[in-house]
Amino acid sequence: MTFRAPIRDLAFALRTVGHPGLIARAFPDLDGDTVQAVLEAAGGFAEGELAPLNRRGDLEGARYENGKVFAAPGFADAYRHFVEQGWNSLSASPEHGGQGLTKALELAVFEMVHAANMAFGLCPMLTQAAIEALDLHGTERQKRLVLPKLVSGEWTGAMCLTEPQAGSDLAALTSMARPDGKGGWLLSGQKIFITWGDHDAADNICHLIIARTPDAPPGIKGISLFLANKFEVKDDGSLGARNSFRPASVEHKLGIHGSPTCVMVYEDAQAELVGELGQGLAHMFVMMNAARLQVGVQGVAIAERAFQQALAFSQERKQGRTTFEDAGGMIYGHPDVRRTLMLMKAKIEAARGICLTTGVASDLAKRAGTEEERAAAKARQDLLTPIAKAWSTDVGVEVASLGVQVHGGMGFIEETGAAQHYRDARIAPIYEGTNGIQAMDLIGRKLRANGGETLRGLCAEMALTAEVLTESAELAPVGRRLAAGIAALERAADAMVAADNITALAAATPFLKLAGDVVGGWILGRQALAAAGEPGAEGDPWLKSKAALARLYASQVLTQASGLADGLAEAGDDLAETPAHALAG
């Protein structure tokens, strides 16, 4: 099925998220025409070059031959075109060759890239994360020689954390870096699940690796961050000898077959320290948080792709007698099919808004006019990042699954393509920190760390929107249900701040779902209000649909908020008394 870049949806979402006045002051040269031009150009590239490679990448995949990894057919050429057109450098600092545009706009562009071809999008996505880490913590030499090449996209970045014995538990890693006596380091060990860790699409690959040093203390305090390049980077910027690390294999995965996920072996590989010794985890979290927000965008993207295909199928497939005559006898005329598709669309727009709102907070954390505004934006960004990652990727899986359901039996057949979206979507709740880890981060570091103050500020802002919604005859039900959802979220937050550790950890995932559900309702309410105020709204079905989507979401999602909140205090009650053998039967 042909992919259509959702340019109007994205442009509208960008206009209605965040704080437009603050953004206008932070980016005075960025006007609506520029945003539209960027979205249209990126959409054209995604539709014309990336989407046609998606199915072939799934069927043929990346391959490993004679110690080398080759990207899926057509991917290397597409990547070179991606770089030539400047898509890799959108939000990077002009100091390093970037275009200095907003993170939110970059996320909108990458949504189209991921929707067109998620396996392809992983390569520049991780490069973006490497850029952010080196920009903050890189040495002068790394910023001078490596960072501009990553910004341009001539070189790509890889994030190397996981080891066979250490998945999410990074304290258990054993990779070792020893001083080489010349100011550098020799790094040895094995890393697994390294996305685009080796390939033939760029001249050099820059691995950011966490490892221990000989005298380091045990646990996470003994971890440092290193940069190891596939080819030596000489002082004049030219490439030298091949470094002593190699791919041992590529993983055989459920989905994203076009993305080479490598097992990497390091054998006294030449490496450079990034940042300070013993601060590797903190430095790596810069990269991880950037990637986590991008993975949230992947959830939106794969949901959008699955939705588009399901909607098109619903207008082509005829089954039984339909209720709504405007569907011409096709299954879109069945109430349950139409409800399903509208709920899919509502959740996509909610997730998109959450991710873009987080992107706006990231922009303001760096560029707002006052220190107070920057601090508030950083706190909002930190609070929303785990929600953006986890809630949006859960939406991606749910919507992709519903896409298969809309297709019926045809969705279970690989040839229709609906199954690929479901397979591709399933990794997103797992990598860059599982969604359970995101939930624990939300409860532990983002909620309880300051007694819930940042969340209370967000709730107060959402409550103002709920009040405005109740003043509109057609949106009053949305306002009432949003207000009830906010009250439930505040009640749940207070309970989690006061809860014991077992209860808080057991309740973390349902709490994150509750938070995402309510913030998503706020996003849709804001969009409905904005759409009602657009010129020609009464005669534009697309604008009118915003109110319908907000009402459906409010009735089917926000109404569950109170029940979720009520159950959190009891989430851990029976866990300690239920050993594994009790479940085995």
Residues tagged active-site: 432
Residues in the chain: 585
Report the DSSP beta bridge partners of residue 431: none
How far apart CA 14 and CA 31 sit, in angstroms, is 12
Which residue type, as a one-letter code, is found at position 35?
Answer: V
Place of tokens 């050429």: 77
How far apart CA 568 and CA 93 sit, in angstroms, is 43
Q: Which residues contact 76 (CB under 8 A, 6 or more apart)?
A: 70, 199, 200, 201
How far apart CA 111 and CA 428 sit, in angstroms, is 14
For every residue of 32-46, DSSP letters joined together read HHHHHHHHHHHHHHI
Radius of gyration of the chain (CA): 24
Separation in Å, CA 37 to CA 3, 21, 32, 101, 541: 19, 21, 9, 13, 24
Among 188, 208, 210, 379, smallest CA distance to 266 is for: 188
How far apart CA 509 and CA 565 sit, in angstroms, is 12
Tell me how crowded residue 6 is: count the other CB atoms within 10 A of its CB: 25
How far apart CA 245 and CA 247 sit, in angstroms, is 7
Are the CB atoms for 268 and 211 separated by under 8 Å? no
- The phi and psi torsions of 64 (rounded to 5 degrees) equal -115, 120
